[in-house]
Amino acid sequence: MPPSRLQTEALALGAYNAALGVAAVLGLAALPWLAMTRHRVGLAERLGVLPPEVAALCGSRPIWIHAASVGEVLAAEPLVRLLRERGGPQLPLLGSATSVAGRDAVRQHLRAPAMLLPADLPWVVRRTLRRLDPRALIILETELWPNLLCGAAWANIPVVLVSARLSPRAGAAYAWVQPLVRTVLRRVCAIAAQTEADAERFRALGAPPDRVHVVGSLKSAREAPAPERSCCPVAFAARPVLVAASTHEGEEEVVLEAARALWREQPEVLLVLAPRHADRFDRVAGLLERLGVRYVRRTDGLEAVPHGVPVLLLDSVGELPFFFPASAAAFVGGTLVDIGGHNVLEPALSGAMVAFGPHVDKVRDAAALLLRAGVAVQVETAGELAEAWRNALRDPRPARERARAVRELLGAPADIAGRTLAVVERWVRLRG
């Protein structure tokens, strides 16, 4: 007799936890080393020790919002704003993130107590859920942690995925462990997917069809800063600005080659270079020095970029969105190398022309929308990127016109946030 669905799910979760147990035993040997590296930051939180600000919420039945990192935290802003409007000033909220930068962004942008996501170990998850006893767990995008989601469901804590996305590559990868993924998705109360394609991939992996709704991306619901220079934290007079956002290893060289082609024609152009990961800031600074490119770092504390300095190295976290409105164009990284892309909508919604490479698997729908709106171009070489930037600097359309074209295709931001809230409210009691 073939195993029942419940038996299959139990076996899948058991196999996952067995693998985690082996990894945890092996990881014990690495603890002394971790304690001497940057990974020691937040190590106790990852093992379930609640920070005082979060522990203070125990007993208040808070709404727990989880976002992987800074981009997802920023995307959560419009939903958090609506939750507070609907739930009143006394509504307890807490946020978690997978990265330290994300945790700090929760405190800064969501103005909520924050912690690092506890490791997905059964005993850590059980202890955290028992102490926090949240009234709901709201998860941004695609953070499918089996023990966390199943543990919450078993404790009668509603779990809702919002702004949920699943790229073709991720869908294919999850298909290899479909019994486990199906087990997790069946414990989720509702999935507010970004697109119909995302929704269909969730259904194909085992999400109950009646729980999957298409509402749009919260990243496009976040109000972009007005397309003016005054919002920038650093001044650069009337210089034309280009942004290279969320770049990865191997992309900075292409970006700088393209910028050099422009500097020969327009030496006043300023390049704002923003590596994706904080641990690469110093390496990118070293690359600029080896190439003989003058630059200043954001953390130098300068109020203005000196005349004649062609590069501002944005070695800070959470400030990138403020530079998009001042830019004529933005290259979005993770697309010239096989990462799958990062948020291409944010610069477009600020009015910048957008360039990206061929690897857009994670942002395929958004990339196609921008190409259709005529506010983006796909490039593969430094020469093509230089030409895209050259055309953007000559583009006579006002930034507001480009931003409006994107908004019209996406729909009103308030509608997306409101539809997301409507899905959440079916399962989450916001008052009382």
- Active site amino acids: 72
Query: Which residues contact residue 375 at a Cβ distance below 8 angstroms, ignoring those fewer than 6 apart?
Result: 348, 353, 354, 402, 405, 406
Q: Strand, helix or coil at 143?
A: coil
**In one letter, which amino acid is 406?**
V
Q: Quote the tokens at residue 359.
A: 């690897």
> In 271-306, which positions are buried (b, 16+ CB within 10 angstroms) versus exposed (e)?
bbbbbbbeebbeebbebbeeeebebbbbeeeeeebe
Q: Quote the tokens at residue 337.
A: 């190398």
User: From the CB of residue 374, how many other CB atoms can be counted at a distance below 10 Å?
Assistant: 12
Closest by CA position to 77, among listed 346, 430, 432 = 346
Q: Rounded CA gap, 64 and 315, in Å? A: 30
Q: Strand, helix or coil at 4?
A: coil
Distances (CA, A) of 123 to 24, 47, 109: 12, 9, 31
